[in-house]
């Protein structure tokens, strides 16, 4: 049996999902080229939606295209997507840039000392490295508003903790592997908690529920404990 060739950014694979979706695969391993192709097609679809489109869900190397099976079918959607692949890959992306305020002071950074120990850096060097990262949103997942940010500097890349920590507060700035994330709910995590953000990620706007779009750029800026919400009342 001959296996099909692996998908490529310029030669994606179209996989029918149930009766209402198509998964467009641009690669089998994470790469900048595959993710750029995902974002380009997602933007092209937003500019010219195929008939019956419900929504798109971008991830690292693939794009899920959900449609209304009463209006269209897999064949028509795939044909429409194929027509958009070429123009999409040539289109320059225009994405928003965001600044996220983060406090690295106690008690908001419970793992900062451990991260410093594991990386061989001082706590201030860990903070400086985190602030120097050039991050972009690669996908949403796990929980509402959980924007996975690629671009964590290599000096800070650690495996997850062996045991998750329960009841991690919303707004925690966490890192693991090559990613960073700002939590939006109080939940357990096995990632390293190096700060707390004062920037709301959940907007409360039903038309734009999250601060970021996939593909947006994110930078962190440092604030002190006195600038955190509730600091005046607690002080």
Closest CA to 179 of 163, 156, 202: 156
Per-residue pLDDT at 60 = 83
Closest CA to 126 of 100, 156, 103: 156
Per-residue pLDDT at 77 = 96
Whether residue 60 contacts residue 215, with contact meaning beta carbons closer than 8 Å, is answered with no
Per-residue pLDDT at 32 = 81
Closest CA to 66 of 42, 35, 90, 47: 42
Q: What is the CATH number of domain 97-234?
A: 2.40.100.10
Per-residue pLDDT at 9 = 77
Per-residue pLDDT at 34 = 87
Residue pLDDT tens, the chain, 235 long? 555 677 887 889 999 999 999 999 998 888 888 888 998 899 899 889 999 999 998 888 899 999 999 999 999 999 999 998 865 554 445 578 999 999 999 999 999 999 999 999 999 999 999 999 999 998 888 888 899 999 999 999 999 999 999 999 999 999 999 999 999 999 999 999 999 999 999 998 888 899 998 889 999 999 999 999 876 544 3
- The CATH number corresponding to 13-90 among 3.40.50.10070, 3.30.1360.40, 3.40.640.10, 3.40.50.300 equals 3.30.1360.40
CA geometry: angle at 84 spanning 83 and 85, to 5°? 100
Q: Where are the domains of the chain?
A: 13-90, 97-234
Per-residue pLDDT at 225 = 93
Per-residue pLDDT at 235 = 39
The stretches of the chain forming alpha helices (DSSP H) are 32-47, 74-90, 112-119, 123-132, 231-234
The alpha carbon torsion through 191, 195, 199, 203 (nearest 10 deg) reads 20
Per-residue pLDDT at 1 = 54
Report the distance separating Cα 69 and Cα 17, nearest Å: 12
3-state secondary structure of 124: helix
The residue written with tokens 């955190």 in the block is 228
């Amino acid at each position: 049996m001959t296996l099909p060739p692996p998908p490529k950014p310029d030669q994606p694979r179209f996989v029918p999902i149930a009766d209402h979706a198509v998964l467009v695969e641009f690669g089998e391993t994470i790469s900048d080229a595959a993710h750029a192709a995902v974002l380009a097609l997602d933007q092209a679809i937003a500019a010219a939606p195929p008939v019956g489109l419900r929504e798109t869900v971008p991830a690292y190397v693939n794009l899920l295209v959900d449609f209304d099976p009463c209006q269209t079918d897999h064949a028509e959607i795939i044909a429409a997507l194929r027509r958009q692949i070429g123009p999409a890959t040539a289109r320059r992306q225009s994405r928003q840039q965001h600044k996220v305020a983060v406090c690295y002071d106690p008690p908001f950074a419970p793992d900062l000392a451990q991260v410093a120990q594991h990386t061989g850096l001082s706590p201030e060097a860990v903070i400086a490295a985190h602030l120097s990262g050039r991050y972009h949103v690669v996908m949403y997942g796990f929980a509402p508003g959980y924007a996975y940010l690629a671009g964590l500097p290599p000096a800070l890349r650690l495996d997850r903790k062996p045991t998750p920590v329960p009841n991690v507060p919303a707004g925690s700035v966490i890192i693991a592997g090559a990613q960073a994330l700002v939590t939006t709910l109080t939940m357990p995590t096995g990632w390293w908690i190096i700060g707390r953000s004062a920037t709301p990620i959940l907007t409360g706007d039903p038309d734009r529920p999250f601060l970021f779009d996939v593909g947006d750029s994110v930078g962190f800026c440092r604030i002190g404990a006195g600038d955190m919400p509730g600091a005046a009342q607690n002080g």
